[in-house]
Amino acid sequence: MTQPIRAKVTVPTDPERAFELFTNKMGTWWPVESYSRAVSEFEHEDVEVAELVFQARMGGSILERMTDGRVLPWAEVIAWQPPQRVVLSWRPHSLPEPPTELEVTFAARAGATSVELEHRGWERLSDEFRANLHEIYARGWPFTLRCFAEAGRDVASS
């Protein structure tokens, strides 16, 4: 069994602002130049990410809008509890594999917010895809959360 990937970061702002930044403002901090469908699936085409949209509501989606007009889904919101928790059915690819699950929680801690991420459900994937994808996310989540924390520092100082 493949263990969930867990990562956490502290953001120097309250949970409400941290949750808002992670969801509604995801497109302002997500490293699309490193982690996007444009990079992973269309690297040999002349396209880039024009916008990353998080539809912040139960049943909403995360959508990657590309410069050629295509709109590529990443995830669906399957639990929405602002500002404590969001859970996503996570599938930012076009392969014939089921989604994994991503849970992000936000908790006040001494004038800041502890943001914890758990990426689970790896057993749903085929063996070949699971090993490759797990390795990519094990490297990617710490980097991505550092980008989020940096954006959180900018929000806190403004």
pLDDT by 10s per residue, the chain, length 158 = 899 999 999 999 999 999 999 999 999 999 999 999 999 888 889 999 999 999 999 999 999 999 999 999 999 999 999 999 999 999 999 888 999 999 999 999 999 999 999 999 999 999 989 988 999 999 999 999 999 999 998 877 76
Which pLDDT value is given to residue 144?
97
pLDDT at 70: 95
**pLDDT at residue number 135:** 93
Q: How far is CA 102 from the centre of its chain?
A: 8
Q: Which fold has domain 5-157?
A: Alpha-D-Glucose-1,6-Bisphosphate; Chain A, domain 4 (3.30.530)
Q: Quote the pLDDT of residue 128.
A: 87
